[in-house]
Structures are given as C-alpha cells and as structure tokens.
Amino acid sequence: MATAAAPRVYKNFINGEWVDSRSGNAYENRNPANADELIGMFVSSNAEDVDLAVDAAKLAYQKWRLVPAPKRAEILFRAAELLVQHKEQFSKDMTSEMGKVLAETRGDVQEAIDMTYYMAGEGRRLFGQTTPSELPDKFAMSVRQSIGTCGLITPWNFPMAIPSWKIMPALISGNTVVLKPAEDTPLSSYNLVQILTDAGVPEGVVNLVSGNGPNAGAPLAEHLDVPVVSFTGSTAVGRLIAEACAPEFKHCSLEMGGKNIIIVMEDANLDLAVDGAIWGGFGTTGQRCTAASRIAVHKSVYHDFISRFVARVKKLRVGDGLDPGIDMGPCINEQQLKTVMDYVQIGQTEGAKLLTGGHCLTEGPYAKGWFHEPTVFGDCNPKMRVAQEEIFGPVVSLIPIGRLEEAVEVANGVPYGLSASIYTRNVNRAFQAIRDLFTGIVYVNAPTIGAETHLPFGGTKKTGNGHREAAIAAIDFYTEWKTLYIDYSDKLQRAQIDNAE
C-alpha cells in the first residue's frame, strides 16, 4: 500500500541556521479552509530554544549595531526586491495557512514590501535634532542609538505584514531580533526570514522560534537579555506581556483590540458608504483589529442603508480564498469560529435583530473548514455586548443614531480606540468628527481599514499603550535618544547659571 510522503518539518532559525527545537516536538499547520490539507509541521519551541535564539541575537548585536545604517539599508532594499519577486508564491502560501482571499494576501505581502522599502529609506535619514546651545562656543545635538535584542510576538491575521512592521524598523535602527510568530501562521514568517537571509542579513541578526504563547512567547517577553518587546494580539495577552516587561522597565509596545465604527450621516453618498461597510466589515472575514464591526447610521437614511447593505452582504461568496470569485474566507480556527457563534447567540439573546447570516457553514464545500456566514445585526443598542466587545469575525452591528454629537458619543463609548470613519459630504461635520473621535486613526469617506506604512498605526485606550507602529513612530520605539553637548570654549560653562556674574 502506498503511504503519503511525510510532511515537511519547518525548524527554528537561530544564528543563521535552521535547527530543531530542544523540545523534540512539532505541531501541525493546517489550512483553515480545508483541514485535510496539512501545510507542514512546525517545531514547538520552549524556553531553551528562546535562550539560544536570544544568545545568538545578543552576540550578533555587537557587530550589527556598528554596521552603518545606509549599509543595513542596502540589505533591506534587496529583501524588498526579493519579496516582490516571490509575492505570488508567498500570497498563495499565506492564503493556505490563514484563509483570507488571494487579493488580500497579495495586499499583506505588499504591505511587507512597502514597509521594507520605507524602512530601508530611513537608513539614510534616522534624523536627530541639531539646535543652538544657550551658551557660546557650545554645540548641541541629538542622535538615535540602537538598544539591543528585540522580542517580537506577532498575530495570525497579517502573517507577513505585521512581522515586517516590527522587524524592519528594529533592524534599520541597528537592533537584532527574535521573532515568535503566531502558532496558526508560521509559514509566512518562515518565508520572510528566509528572504532576509537571502538578502544578506548576517547570522544571528534575525532569529525565529515557532510555537505557542505560554511556551515560547512568554519566555521571550520575560528574557532578561531582551530589552525591547513588541506585541500585536489580544488585550488579555497584551496585559500579560506588559506585566512581564514591567519589572525590567522594558520598552514594550502593544497593539491590541478594536471596536471600530463607521458613521454614516444623512448627507453621505450611500452607495460609497455601503461599499466601505462591506470592505471594512467583512474584509479578512472581519479578522482585523481595524475591522468595522459597528456601523452607526443616521435615522433618516437607516432603512435605505440597511436594505442596500444587507442585499450586498447576502451576495458575498464564502469559500476557499484560493478559488477565484470568493469574497470571504474562513475563520482562522475552530476556537475563533466558536467565538463568532457565541457572539451570534449573545446578540440574539440581547435582542439585536438578526438581519442576515447567523450560522456556521458545514455542508458541501464548507465541511472541512471553519466557515461562518457574513452576519448583520440591526437595531443594536450601543451598550449591547455585540456593540461593545471585539468579536474578530464576520459580524457587523448596526446602530441607529441622530445628531453627529450622538454618533461621536457612541463611537467613543467603547473600551478601544483604534480606527473610526465618517461618511459625510459636509466639511464642517467631517472636521468636527476628526477633532472629537478619540481614536488613533480617523478616515473620512473611507472605511476603517487600509492604513499605509509611512503613517503612524495604533490606538488609544485599551487598544494600545501609547506607542505607534509604522512611520517614524516605529523608529522612536526601537531607538533611544542620546543627547550630545560639545563645549569648545575651553572653560567651565554652567547651563542655567548666570555666567556673567
């Protein structure tokens, strides 16, 4: 009898080599659209593996920090070009392990390309300030300095983009990294690390340990030789990371939950608003921190909006993201599907009106995946759990609103503050909303998703801890300022003291 070929085992990348885990264990990475498809085995790392990776990164840091930033940049430029060459294959790999449709995984790889080019460009900037001293014959300036080894813990919903948001600014600033990618989507990180290596990143500068949070992520966040930790994921895990970082006063950047809103005013272009709500609500199966999970619609256009929106939602084709013509893929795993189903139940119990969807899909082409219908709740009270809590799935809650002030109060009345959007043709209202929405990102006449890599990304309240990713903000996180005073007067000059006396 013929036996199937043994699945490929993907190893850790430590000190420039692909190596087994000390645990001797590996876990399965399966396609969320088809559980029969085994993508590969990935090693289950433990604290010993993390120690080895951190040791390698610590050693490599001594040389890497001295490589001139424009030379570090040349490697990143090469990596960006290699990513361009491999974009199609990496996108297909990503759809297979994560489920989102090919157009979106192409976007994810493109976001990594954009970030890599952008941060490579920073290699010839990394600007500090040069400013007059208050004293004569004295020179004052500030420069950025690298910090050391960065522990990067990344989520499954943007399996290449988000690792690149962390790796590229860390590297261009002169740090070394240990990446612990999400358990569900390690192949995309494997691909990214392979590209960086092919582009010429020296051994030990980029290390990867696959595995789960408690066994691999926690020892990385706690490690005494890791002064910088960046995490994207749930608010609950973010709190654990912050606690792990606190005793050592580590740089700690957290990007966590969202409960983002689209506000549709009575003067909005309704067709445009419906387009935005479909893309914001159901893109990536709603599994984005930036997903539009609430839509507040002015009462005078509420029914018109509902009928157009629900008609469009009903037409969304759910299936395997690699099949052309599919609009929405599966949930990432069984647990996430169960969370979605629980929230559908909660919404109904709370009295929200189920306008379409509401079921998981289990028959025919859906039998082997974690599929759920795109689901819309109408007439939601803003205090309902489905309108307050992050679901991270294809569920949108519609909330009727009156004046803009009320819409802003609803928008701000959640524990999170990542992204918000308003559809209006009234410039005064648009600017009022820009001023009053307390979120890290505001869109006008565009949905809540679609952040670009050269602008700060992050949110207020329980979405973050005051840091931003992407843009120069990321460089600020991965560097320390060093302020320089050079006195060429040849005498003691005392700042703040009256020197004329």
Residues of this chain that interact with ligand UN1 (CB under 6 A) are: 111, 157-158, 288-290, 449-451
Give the CB-side neighbour count of residue 319, counting CA atoms within 13 A.
11
Residue 255 annotated as catalytic: yes
Cα distances (angstroms) measured from residue 485 to each of 134, 144, 496: 11, 14, 14
Shortest distance, position 290 Cβ to ligand UN1, whole Å: 4
Candidates 97, 104, 111, 255; catalytic one: 255
Q: Which string of DSSP letters, residue by residue, matches 463-492?
A: TBSS--BSHHHHHHHT-EEEEEEEE-SSS-
Locus of tokens 């990294």: 177
Closer residue to ligand UN1, CB minimum distance, 93 or 104: 104
Decide: helix, strand or coil at residue 69: helix
Closer residue to ligand UN1, CB minimum distance, 39 or 449: 449
Contact at 8 Å (CB) between 189 and 216? no
Cα distances (angstroms) measured from residue 98 to each of 212, 232, 245, 270: 16, 16, 29, 32
User: Strand (E) positions, 288-370?
Assistant: 292-298, 353-356, 360-361
Nearest Cα to Cα of residue 278 among 345, 329, 328, 330: 328
Closer residue to ligand UN1, CB minimum distance, 100 or 308: 100
Closer residue to ligand UN1, CB minimum distance, 164 or 397: 164
Candidates 252, 289, 331, 380; catalytic one: 289
How far apart are the C-alpha atoms of 451 and 440, rounded to whole Å? Answer: 11
Residues 6+ apart with CB under 8 A from 84: 113
Closer residue to ligand UN1, CB minimum distance, 55 or 469: 469
State the amino acid at position 473 in one-letter form. Answer: A
Residue 348 backbone class (left: φ over 0; alpha: ψ -120 to 50; beta: rest): alpha
Locus of tokens 């494997």: 190
Four-residue CA torsion sign, 219, 220, 226, 230? negative
Closer residue to ligand UN1, CB minimum distance, 288 or 462: 288
Contact at 8 Å (CB) between 30 and 37? yes
Nearest Cα to Cα of residue 376 among 400, 407, 397: 397
Closer residue to ligand UN1, CB minimum distance, 52 or 414: 414
Cα distances (angstroms) measured from residue 376 to each of 278, 295, 359, 393, 438: 11, 10, 11, 11, 25
Closer residue to ligand UN1, CB minimum distance, 123 or 281: 281
Residue 252 annotated as catalytic: no
Residue 498 backbone class (left: φ over 0; alpha: ψ -120 to 50; beta: rest): beta
How far apart are the C-alpha atoms of 414 and 463, rounded to whole Å? Answer: 11
Residues 6+ apart with CB under 8 A from 16: 56, 197, 202, 203, 204
Shortest distance, position 497 Cβ to ligand UN1, whole Å: 51
Q: Which residues are catalytic?
A: 255, 289
